[in-house]
Structure 1
Amino acid sequence: MASIGRICAVYIAFFSSSPGHAADNRLVLTGSSTVAPLAAEIGKRFEEQNPSIRVDVQSGGSSRGVADARSGLADLGMASRAPNADETDLQFFTIARDGVGIIVNTNNSVRSLTDEQIVAIYTGKIADWSKAGGAAGRITVVNKAEGRSTLELFLHYFKLKGGDVKAHVIIGENQQAIKTVAGNPGAIGYVSIGSAEYEADHGAHIRLLPMSGVAASVENVRSGSFPLSRPLNLVSKGAPGAVARRFIDFARSRGVHDIVESQFFVPIAP
């Protein structure tokens, strides 16, 4: 299945029980399901260049990444959003940029939706595709679970509150949303543009819709013309430790731009 390529692997290393040994040789990252597959691939290359270090990448949402970084459960959190005002105790390091786009099934005849139509669909005011320019059929609204930064960005952009959304399916990971929409001709969802372009390129039956008249594409995220974009960040509590600092510098270097682009994200300038 195509989505396997995007699912983050977990790399677990077992070390001797001598004090400090595991901390010096294992780097734990938790958080955003958008950042996790990218961090996992960067982690593989980092391990190749640093054979004594193992990188353990676990998803679970940006909120988990921030909480784990803050509590010390993770060496680095992963967050697919900018820092909040109450996170001054944390440091955010951008490793790429991404956008959030609307996806429908490839069998859906709808090619575009206005912002007003998207709001009407997600608030239950439009429940059939025939009311949005498509063929008759019930709309299945796929929404992100609480604690996901993609949900926060979606609600903020469309000026909605969580309680406004009338969802039929609640998902966590980008891959869950893509799988749900790919398998349901009447479904609509919103996901990382990078994840969606990657999966569509690998055969997933989804199509990204334009937003505010701008095509949802990596190139438009790169140019700054797409209206809903975001930074993909690594997060630390205060100054990162030595190994974490090395990983951050590596993840922000030109040496991983090919990995960033292969996963349909936008590299940051050096």
Structure 2
Amino acid sequence: MLALSVFLVACSSGNEAPATEEPVTEEPVTEEPQNLSGPLTLSGSTSVEKVGLALIEEFMALNPDVVGTYEAIGSSGGVKNAADGVTQIGTASREIKDEEKAWGIEELTIAYDGIAVIVNPANTVEDLTIDQITKIYTGEITNWKDLGGNDEEIVVVSREDGSGTRGAFEEILGIEGKLTQNALIAEGNGNVQSTVAGNPKAIGYVSFSSLDNTIKPLKVEGVEPISEDVINGTYKISRPFIFVYKEENLTEPAKAFLDFVMSEEGQNIVEENGAIRVK
């Protein structure tokens, strides 16, 4: 009987259909949202300020626990702050100097900008050459009549030492250290613009992003001061907007902010605020 039972069990087992494994469906892996919090500190160029603040504001809207600040102290101050760890990111509206690169900072070009040569709307002059602008700022041309304008003294308005706009402007024209002693010095794009807007004899220069209808931008060598002409290389007075930093000083919010600036959304904000996108 025992042998018969074993035989029946064996036969029964042999007739069973083979077991099939149920397919394993993997759950999609979703990345957890970053819970960014803490300070995000930038300092530097007054020309970059408008773009920088717009980027910070949108980044804070996406990350409510991040508190971002921007201190407009000029390009040289911003680069030094980043090198010294005073702020996580410094901003410059000119090329970084060799002596600054020696501080061990990283560079990120976030946009390009043109520098517009501006006059009062009452001024009849519409176009200047690079040579004429150079001679105005070195004091060789002092009367508007020599440029096709009225018989009036030219009031030259320039920026303060350490300004990225001034540094770029003088480097492009080749007049570093040669600014006329009669120039009025105004701190920040806004002050240059308001000085020119209030004086029919004045000439100045500001970032494209600062232009409004209180002043008149001049053509340079017959070329309009517009973004398209900077991109195609025909407008010659232009410069980069650069973020600088030391990797070891970047917090998680600062790293995420740099990624955001170079994203499609970040570059859209750059463009919406008067600068020229890099991608």
TM superposition score category, shorter chain reference: 0.7 to 0.9
Paired residue for 1:268? 278
Pairwise CA RMSD: 1.7
2:202 corresponds in structure 1 to: 187
Counterpart for residue 254 of structure 2: 244
Q: Is the 8 A contact 1:62 1:78 kept in 2?
A: yes
Deviating beyond 6 angstroms after TM superposition, the runs of 4 or more aligned structure 1 residues are none
The answer for the alignment partner of 2:80 in structure 1 is 67
Task: Give the whole-Å Cα distance in 1 for the aligned partners of 2:252 and 2:78.
Answer: 19
Aligned to 1:137, the other structure's residue is in SS state coil
1:219-230 equivalences in 2 (<5 Å): 219-230=228-239
Partner SS, residue 177 of structure 1: helix
The TM-score, its normalising length taken from structure 1, stands at 0.84
Identical-pair percentage: 34
Deviations 1:54-85 (A, max 9, x none): 10111010001001101111111011122222
1:1-270 matched pairs, under 5 angstroms: 25-86=38-99, 87-88=101-102, 89-196=104-211, 200=212, 203-204=213-214, 206-239=215-248, 240-269=250-279
Larger Rg: 2
Instruction: State the SS of the aligned residue for 1:256.
Output: helix
Deviation string, structure 1 residues 129-153 (Cα, Å, up to 9, x no partner): 1121101222110011111121122
Amino acid across the alignment from 1:59 = A
> Which amino acid in 2 is paired with 1:98?
D
In 1: Cα distance, 2:132 partner to 2:111 partner: 30
| Deviation of 1:166 (Å) | 3.1
Separation (CA, whole Å) in 1 of partners of 2:186 and 2:265: 34
> Is the contact between residue 195 and residue 263 of structure 1 (CA under 8 Å) also seen in structure 2?
no
Q: Give, in whole Å, the separation in 2 of the partners of 1:92 and 1:168.
A: 33
Please report the TM-score for the alignment, with normalisation by the length of structure 2.
0.81
| Alpha-carbon displacement from aligned partner over 1:81-105 (angstroms, at most 9, x marks no partner) | 2222231411111211101121111
CA shift, 1:214, in A, is 2.0
Aligned residues: 241
Change (3 A) 1:82 1:168: closer
Alignment-mate amino acid for residue 222 of structure 2: G
SS of match in other structure, 2:166: helix
Between 1:178-187 and 1:118-127, the stretch displaced more is: 118-127
Q: Which runs of 5+ in 1 are unaligned?
A: 1-22
Deviation at 1:50, TM superposition (A): 0.5
The amino acid of 1:30's aligned partner reads S
For residues 161 and 222 of structure 1, the distance between their equivalents in structure 2, rounded to whole angstroms, comes to 25
